[in-house]
Structure 1
Amino acid sequence: MTSTLTPPKTSERSIAGERCDRCGAAAKLRVLLAEGSDLVFCGHHANAYAEKLVPIAVDFTVDPEFEWRGKDLMASEN
């Protein structure tokens, strides 16, 4: 049996009040990983790590006022 991976999609999980796992600034992105854990990043770190996050993301939530460059990277992969 061949398994198929579905592309990540924008989730409805709130990031309000969350803080960046890297620096503690206000969260702009939450990435859900395959094993069920998640990572939360501020805008700076979300964009800095976009190339590494896109391949491991199962789902993600982006602050509506934040333009995450990972969206463009995911679009170019599909």
Structure 2
Amino acid sequence: MPETLTRPELTAADRCDRCGAAAKLRAVLQSGGELLFCGHHAREFKAGLSEVDADLQEDEQIEL
């Protein structure tokens, strides 16, 4: 049975890797790497991240 890993909720301390704004999306890549994006950059990159099967964790307070 595979182990399910949980990640902590995004907080105000989490910042976008592209511009430094508050992170609204965490993308966990298949390699184990992690990227954080603000709402603007999340919308820009969400389709591509889905194509590479990244696990996406969205801030529940916004709609991307």
How many residue pairs get matched? 58
- How far does the alpha carbon of each residue in 1:36-70 deviate from its partner, in whole angstroms, 9 at most, with x for none? 001100000000112211112332211111112xx
Percent of aligned pairs sharing the same letter: 43
Matches within 5 A, 1:1-78: 12-16=7-11, 17-68=13-64
Pick closer, same or farther for the CA change 1:19–1:12 going to 2, 3 Å: same
Decide whether the 8 Å contact of 1:19 with 1:40 is kept in 2. Answer: yes
Q: Which stretches of structure 1, 4 residues or longer, exceed 4 Å deviation after superposition?
A: none
Where does structure 1 lack aligned partners over 5 or more consecutive residues? 1-10, 69-78
> What TM-score does the superposition give when structure 1 sets the normalisation length?
0.66
Q: What amino acid is the match of 1:25? A: A
Structure with the largest fraction of helix: 1
Where does structure 2 lack aligned partners over 5 or more consecutive residues? 1-5
RMSD: 1.5
> What TM-score does the superposition give when structure 2 sets the normalisation length?
0.79
